Amino acid sequence: MRMTTANGLIGSMALALFSTTASADLGLINMTRGVTESSRQIYDLHMTIFSITVAIGLLVFGAMFYSIFRHRKARGVKPAKFHHSTAVEIVWTVIPLGILVAMAVPATQTLIDLDDTSESEMTVKVTGYQWFWGYEYMDEDVQFLSRLDVDSDRARRLGSGVEPASVDNYLQNVDKRLVLPVDTKIRFQITAADVIHSWWMPDLGWKKDAIPGFVNETWTRIDEPGVYRGRCAELCGRDHGFMPIVVEAVEKDEFQAWLAEQRGETGATADAAETNEDEQVGDALASR
């Protein structure tokens, strides 16, 4: 048994090294551009600040390595005696300050945009639970819970014997997706029922903490239909790693049809839906 594990480890180690070089895919090492205007702004900010640091790094490390190769005792150099230069010190204080100001301008603009939830066309309330998400389409009488799908849940148990790679979207699939319309300004109201969670959808460009007793607001406008996957980002206890988020973005008319279908399923009145969610949470908590 021990031998097989060791062999397995060595084998997979070699495989990993090989497959990493083989599948050198930029998507795996960089931030996603996402599918919203904000997420693209954030990606651009990320790449700009990254490029600035690379440029500064090349200069500083260039000087450092030049010095390491040229100014070494083994080459018989005599050390210089200088120990300060006010002019140089002012220059390398002021220039970085200028770069920072230049960087702060677009960052401020993006931050202001992200903060503006006005003129939203619909509202989704997100509630974090240990360890699943609850979604409520405000004024639409549609609400449901969204949990890790059964296949992942089975495979992720300690010593389950199920190979994660064999599970479809291991740990990033849910039993019921959050369906959202494209080209619609959607306001999110995010809260939690027990401890702090954080609702993170990389393709939307942000995460927002879900805090019990408080409601955080933010918004998005999705450009492209598709299925997007995210996860809880704030440590929330034992199964923090096992509460994924799946958003399915669809065309507006498809979304309306989906809503109607949901209303048919979950009962006619708001009261019924209300009890329904409480019961669902109760069931979910009891079954964990």
Partner 1 sequence: MTATTQDHAHHEAEPTGLKRWLVTTNHKDIGSMYLLFSLAMFLVGGAMALVIRAELFQPGLQVVDPYFFNQMTTMHALVMIFGAVMPAFTGLANWMIPLMVGAPDMALPRMNNWSFWLLPFGFAILLSTLFMPGGGPAGGWTMYPPLMLQTGTAFPFVIFAIHVLGISSIMGSINVIATILNMRAPGMTLMKMPLFVWTWLITAYLMIAVMPVLAGAITMLLTDQYFGTTFFSAAGGGDPVLYQHIFWFFGHPEVYILILPAFGIISTIIPAFTRKPLFGYSSMVYATASIAFLSFIVWAHHMFTVGMPLAGQLFFMYATMLIAVPTGVKVFNWVATMWRGAMTFETPMLFALAFVFLFTIGGFSGLMLAIAPADFQYHDTYFVVAHFHYVLVTGAVFAILAAAYYWLPKWTGHMYSERLGQWHFWLSVIFVNVLFFPQHFLGLAGMPRRIPDYSVQFADWNMISSIGGFGFGFAQLIFVWLLYKCIRGGQKAEARAWEGAEGLEWEVPSPAPHHTFDTPPVVR
Compute the least distance from the CB of residue 223 to partner 1, in Å. Answer: 17
67: DSSP letter: H
Residues 124-163 that bind partner 1 (CB under 8 A): 155-160, 162-163
> Judged by CB under 8 A, which stretch of 178-186, 189-197, 259-267, 271-279 contacts partner 1?
189-197
Residues between 235 and 274 with contacts to partner 1, criterion CB under 8 A: 235-242
**Tokens 């202001």, residue?**
112
Q: Which stretch binds partner 1 (CB under 8 A): 178-186, 206-214, 260-268, 274-282?
A: 206-214
Nearest of 109, 118, 230 to residue 185 by alpha carbon: 118
Nearer Cβ to partner 1 (186/236):
236
Q: 159 to 188, contacts with partner 1 by CB under 8 A? A: 159-160, 162-165, 169-172
Does position 74 bind partner 1 by CB under 8 A? yes
- Residue 200 Ramachandran class (φ > 0 left, ψ -120 to 50 alpha, else beta): beta
Peptide bond into 200 cis (omega under 30): no
132-137 and 122-129 strand pairing: antiparallel
In the set 147, 177, 221, 231, which binds partner 1 (CB under 8 A)? 231
Site string for partner 1, 92-111 (x = CB under 8 A): xx--xx--x--xx--xx-xx
| Alpha-carbon gap, residue 282 to 276, rounded angstroms | 10
Alpha helices in 197-269 (DSSP H): 252-266
**Of residues 206, 219, 221, 246, which one binds partner 1 by CB under 8 A?**
206
Indicate which single residue of 6, 11, 72, 138 sits in contact with partner 1 (rule: CB under 8 A): 72
- Distance (Å, whole) CA 201 – CA 203: 6
40 versus 263: smaller Cβ distance to partner 1: 40
Q: Is 181 helix (H, G, I), strand (E, B) or coil?
A: strand
Query: Which one of 6, 10, 58, 60 is in contact with partner 1 (CB under 8 A)?
Result: 60
- Compute the distance between CA of residue 265 and CA of residue 88 in angstroms, rounded to an integer: 72
d(Cα 39, Cα 200) in Å, to the nearest integer? 12
Q: What is the DSSP letter of 148?
A: B
Cβ nearer to partner 1, comparing 47 with 268: 47
Looking only at residues 1 through 30 of this chain, which bind partner 1 when binding is defined by CB under 8 A?
9, 12-13, 16-17, 19-20, 23, 27-30
The tokens for 211 are: 């805090």
Instruction: Tell me how far, at minimum, the Cβ of 184 lies from partner 1, in Å.
Output: 21
